Amino acid sequence: MVASLVLTTRFHRPFAVWVGVSAAFVMHVVLAVSLGSLLRHLPVTPVRCAVAVLFLVGGIIMLRTKHEDQEDGGPDAAGVSFRKVALTAASVVGLAEFGDLTQLATAGIATRYSAPVAVALGAWCALVTVAALAVTAGRWIVQHVPLKIVQRVAGIVFIAFGVASAVSAFA
């Protein structure tokens, strides 16, 4: 959910971020329910390495972004299309959440009960609701904290998650 918040502060397009995140969670839940307990046997190291690279690159990009003294987020945020923001959010969250505890829990619940549609719908509703809260928080932060500070903190957070993912991949 942190990725949803950070993406909202970066792009200033909360609805586009939420749409992208919601789409990612559809695939997240469908995969979990479809594969059930088999998901637990996927190789963890390559997935964690991909997540680490994604977070590290995102953090570096955020830290290197030129900070315009504009409260609207500057030309970067304003010029990005709804589609690009949604696809970016879907990609980031789709990879970051792949094989995480919510996906494993959904897979476990789906294998335990013979109601895969109900499990999928319940899991998806919970995930998109929490994502909506994260996007709302991100929107509030952008309105009350200078963009330069938000982007620096977001870049540092992304790099920290990247390092943590890399460490967990090889631990």
Determine the pLDDT at residue 84: 94
pTM more than 0.75: no
Tokens, residue 136: 């709302």
Structure token pair of residue 65 = 């972004």
Q: Which of 154, 126, 166 is nearest to 62 (CA)?
A: 154
Cα 126 to Cα 93, 101, 158: the distances in Å are: 15, 14, 24
82-96 helix and 2-11 helix, angle to the nearest 10 degrees = 160
- Per-residue model confidence (pLDDT) at position 86: 94
Q: Which of 42-56, 71-85, 132-146 has the highest mean pLDDT?
A: 132-146
Most confident of the following: 1-5, 56-60, 120-124: 120-124
CA 72 – CA 135 distance, rounded (Å): 17
Question: Is residue 112 predicted with pLDDT exceeding 70?
Answer: yes
